[in-house]
Amino acid sequence: MLDERELATRPIVQESVQHNARTVSNIRALTASLFGVAAGTLGLESFPGFIFYAVGTAVVSVLIFAFKAESNPKAYFWRPLQDLWAGDMFGGLMSFVLTWTLLYNLAKA
Amino acid sequence: MAGAAEQQIHRDPALFYWILLPITVVMVLTGILRHYLSTLLQTAPKRLPLPKIREQRSLLRSANLRMNYAQISPAAFQKRREWWIESARDGKFLADPDARGKGKPNPMSDPAMMEGMMGMMKGNVAMMVPQSLIMGWINAFFSGYVIMKLPFPLTPQFKQMLQAGVGTRDLDVRWVSSLSWYFLTLFGLQPVYNFILGSNNAANQVTQQMAQSQVNPMGGAEDPEKIFNAEAENLEVVEHYYILDGVEDRLLERLQGTV
């Protein structure tokens, strides 16, 4: 009940939430594809490739945190841990695998 | 096969120009086509008769009242709630007051229902036809040989699906035929569509299927009187508070830090 009142006095606007989530998701999708290009060109295989993706997304998270959220994620995300740090991590994975496979085969052929 | 020497297969570079590239281009174009097809096939919302609109809007009104009750004073809320519940109980909002108590209408007899189902069928057709067409196309033209090597290992269970038509028992699962490239593009092209068509596109059937599985196709077939009764009950149990209650305390609390 107290939480509900808190939300009523400091409302969360749905459009802004969606806009922020979409921004994060766009950044993630683009960078994931680029990481795939990099991993494929480097010729990474199996685990190193996925670790490369994890490290890359972590770096991107830090960049979003530092530049997009201006080190103050509470102002932009309701649940910063879920929406910023882990948001859409697996949405980008498929496009990472796609470009990784493509570039890996182009580079090795 | 997981032994010392890694399996090497020498592939013709032309495989990329004649298989990988065409499949990718076709997949992107099908996504765009699907997007425009679904926007074209979308039936415009039908004009409803006045009583039907009133019925829907009254329900909406109650829902809004239930969600935003904190914005109005207790007296105003009480008044609105009493009026709404009374009217709903009397059946003033119903589109067809004579049909009260007759129970659930048959969805097949209502032309509006039929139209809704037709719209869904069209959406399904727009999704299924390109998908099966491309699957058939790839199976007909590009099956029977491996074209690429995955950069990560898979379990042997995938062999059946990803090496369809190759038929070498000892080949590493990482060597896959063109069908697996189709699957990769199927799942991985969503960001590409996002950048081409904007984020609210209908290009990817995977996300669309997820969205569709959540809507109840027979949602509108309920008896309106039952819906109104349920809504009245929901409205009745709302425990009202006013957003301006204690506003001066909150203001002082906020100002305390700044002064």
pLDDT of residue A38: 92
Q: Is B81 among the domain residues?
A: yes
Cβ distance B151 to A46 less than 8 Å, yes or no, reads: yes
List, in sequence order, every beta strand (DSSP E) within chain A: none
- A109 — contact with chain B (CB < 8 Å)? yes
- The gap from C-alpha B25 to its chain's centroid, in whole angstroms, comes to 25
Q: Is B168 among the domain residues?
A: no
- Give the tens place of pLDDT for each residue, A6-60: 666 667 777 888 888 788 888 888 888 899 999 989 888 888 888 999 899 888 8
pLDDT of residue A6: 67
The mean pLDDT value of chain B amounts to: 76
Q: Is B222 among the domain residues?
A: yes
Residue for token digits 């590009």? B142
Q: Minimal Cα–Cα distance from B184 to chain A, Å?
A: 6
pLDDT of residue B171: 76
Cβ distance B243 to A92 less than 8 Å, yes or no, reads: no
CB-based burial label for B27 (10 Å; 0-12, 13-18, 19+): buried
Choose the mutation target among A24, A102, A103, A108 for the interface with B, i.e. most B CBs under 10 Å. Answer: A102
| Neighbouring residues of B112: CB distance < 8 A, sequence distance ≥ 6 | B46, B220
Cβ distance A101 to B184 less than 8 Å, yes or no, reads: yes
B121 three-state secondary structure:
helix
Give the mean pLDDT of B183-199. 79
Half-sphere exposure of B54 (CA within 13 A, CB side): 12
The model's confidence at residue B4, banded by pLDDT at 50, 70 and 90, is: very low
Residue B199 domain boundaries: 14-144+185-255
**What is the pTM for the complete model shown?**
0.70
Cβ distance A95 to B184 less than 8 Å, yes or no, reads: no
Cβ distance B188 to A94 less than 8 Å, yes or no, reads: yes
* Minimal-distance CA residue of chain B relative to A21: B199
Encoding tokens for residue B167? 């038929």
Complex ipTM over 0.95: no
Q: Is B178 among the domain residues?
A: no
- Give the tens place of pLDDT for each residue, B104-131: 555 555 666 666 677 777 767 767 787 8
- A9 — contact with chain B (CB < 8 Å)? yes
Half-sphere exposure of B14 (CA within 13 A, CB side): 1
CB B54 within 8 A of CB B95: yes
- Count up the domains in chain B and report the number: 1
Encoding tokens for residue B73? 């004073």
Choose the mutation target among A15, A31, A105 for the interface with B, i.e. most B CBs under 10 Å. Answer: A105
- A42 — contact with chain B (CB < 8 Å)? no
Strand partners, B149: B175
Nearest to A9 among B148, B149, B243 (CB): B243
Give the mean pLDDT of B22-43. 83
